[in-house]
Amino acid sequence: MTAVNESALTGESIPVDKAEGDAVSAATMNQQGYIECRATRVGEDTTLAQIIRTVSDAAATKAPLARIADRVSGVFVPTVIALALLTLAGWLIAGKPFSFAIARGISVLVISCPCALGLATPVAIMVGSGVGAKTGVLYKTAAALEGAGRTQVIALDKTGTVTEGQPKVTDVIPVGIEKEQLLVLAASLERNSEHPLARAVTAEAEGLALSEVGDFEALPGHGLRARLDGKELLGGSLKFLTSRGLAGEAVTARANALAEEGKTPLLFALGGELIGLIAVADPIKQDSAQAIRELRNMGIQTVMLTGDNARTAQAISRQAGVDQVVAGVLPEGKAEVIRQLKPLGKVAMVGDGINDAPALTVADNGVAIGAGTDVAIDAADIVVMKSRLTDVTAAIRLSRATIRNIHQNLFWAFFYNAICIPLAMGLYGIEMKPMYGAAAMALSSFFVCMNALRLNLVNPHDAGRDRKGKSISAEALDEIVAAATAKEDTTMKKTLKVEGMMCGHCEARVKKALEAVPGVESAAADHNSGTAVVTLSAPVADDALRAAVEAQDYKVLGVE
């Protein structure tokens, strides 16, 4: 047994226990002990290479944002020239002197203002980007700034985005001793371990006088063992201490209740007596619940995508107030969920890890947490430098303000030209001199620039004026999340410990027997490790798998 840190791929900070025969991936780190691995996929076939390829493919298919102003400007100048010529010809035909006709034509050219149309979008974006930078929100492109405000669904990574990303002690429950004494004993044992859960316990006991233990031994997948003042000191999982007969019904119920809250209960015993429980969890960030409330007030649906187990994901979801959860998803699974959500409306993805990069790239807008990995930051369209989830709502709020400002500028540009060009043509019975037309044109551009500068007065963190945008159908979102969850559930794997396999022929028999069981998508047997790994397309009882193998005269020692 060993514990492997898979955070680079799954984003989860808690190491995963691995036994003989279990699969491990490149880009993960062994945390305890020594392991030997056989490479089954190398080079471009590794999980990390597949993530990189997914990011590259998605980035290559991302379409640029079309701009209304660009399309209008493409026909505006030819139209104005045509109107000027039409004005000149019209007044000459009407019998006016050439000087009068040419003055009207020049006035049309001078008073028309393509500058206002041309400035309407870029000036607002420039000012909005500057306000974002002051706030700690970096928009990589103008399309990202314009698109963020149209977001209707936000997908959130769990670890490091909604949560802190580092395990911390949440509960200390002594049994028969004082709380401080339990912390001292637990930390005295755990400080000899490199496991993240051990570091969390040690950090909680910082400042306390710890004891020296002897005969320390790490039991990967179970816990720790040492001797203190001649007594055996144990620490580890509920299963480990239950196997030693040290966890009664009341303690088991309390540990299970903590597990339902998404916490990892650690039990400790000294001299054959249980001395308490310490619960460790990755707590949510202080502003996560507030940020999700603000998103809901904006009419934005939230979906949490995580590689963690469903129980922990649901516990975090309840604390943060997330609308929907899809748990147990790999990087390519996150990207696939984003693709399924995009037909509903504009989708943003918020993440911080390598495992989030494909989803960040596939989303209409990818938002990276500033404390995240370089790969995530590079894949994202927006970066929130202070790593606060409320900065995501600020990014959306600032984008909406910028979009409103652009619409105001465009309206003014169209309104000005619609009123002033007929005036310059002399259709209102007024003979406008070209110099007055030039002054009006300059004032139009001045108005657009001054209106854009009003964005400097916007406070992106002020939720007081939030309005609901165009919302998507909650029922449609439920269906997509349910389908994604069902798909993840159907890719379950179980490992059987099989005794009696001696050669490749034995492997083939076990494989054939398991694949004949309804609900088994595929099976892989290995006589060297004595295991058979089955991939399930539907829930299958352990007894059914056991019976299929034992019908071939092999013995099943356990199913995990």
Residues whose CB falls within 8 Å of the CB of residue 204, separated by 6 or more in sequence, listed in order: 168, 169, 172, 183, 187, 278
Cβ atoms 283, 160 nearer than 8 A: no
Cβ atoms 277, 251 nearer than 8 A: yes
Token digits of residue 20: 């003989």
H or E element in which residue 325 lies = strand 324-326
Question: Which candidate, 191, 78, 112, places its Cα nearest to that of 444?
Answer: 112
Reading across the β-sheet that carries 2-5, which strands appear in turn? 16-18, 2-5, 29-30
- Pick the catalytic residue from 157, 282, 356, 391: 157
Token digits of residue 288: 């996560």
Using DSSP bridges, classify how beta strands 365-369 and 347-351 pair: parallel, antiparallel or unpaired: parallel
- Beta bridge partners, 330, equal none
Task: Write the DSSP string, 226-238.
Answer: EEETTEEEEEE-H
Cβ atoms 430, 417 nearer than 8 A: no
Distance of CA 468 to the CA centre of its chain: 22
Residues whose CB falls within 8 Å of the CB of residue 243, separated by 6 or more in sequence, listed in order: none
Question: Which candidate, 10, 45, 42, 51, places its Cα nearest to that of 28?
Answer: 10
How many Å apart are CA 87 and CA 104, to the nearest integer? 7
CA distances from 119 to 68, 126, 163, 412, 558 (A): 12, 10, 42, 11, 71
How many Å apart are CA 345 and CA 7, to the nearest integer? 30
CA atoms within 13 A on the CB side of 548: 23
Say whether 352 is catalytic: no
Give me the amino acid identity at 166.
Answer: Q
Q: How crowded is residue 78: how many other Cβ atoms within 10 Å of its Cβ?
A: 9
How many Å apart are CA 212 and CA 210, to the nearest integer? 7
Q: How crowded is residue 177: how many other Cβ atoms within 10 Å of its Cβ?
A: 15
Q: How crowded is residue 102: how many other Cβ atoms within 10 Å of its Cβ?
A: 17
Give me the amino acid identity at 386.
Answer: K
Phi-psi map region of 284: left, alpha, beta (phi>0 left; psi -120 to 50 alpha): beta
Residues annotated as catalytic (active site), given as ranges: 157
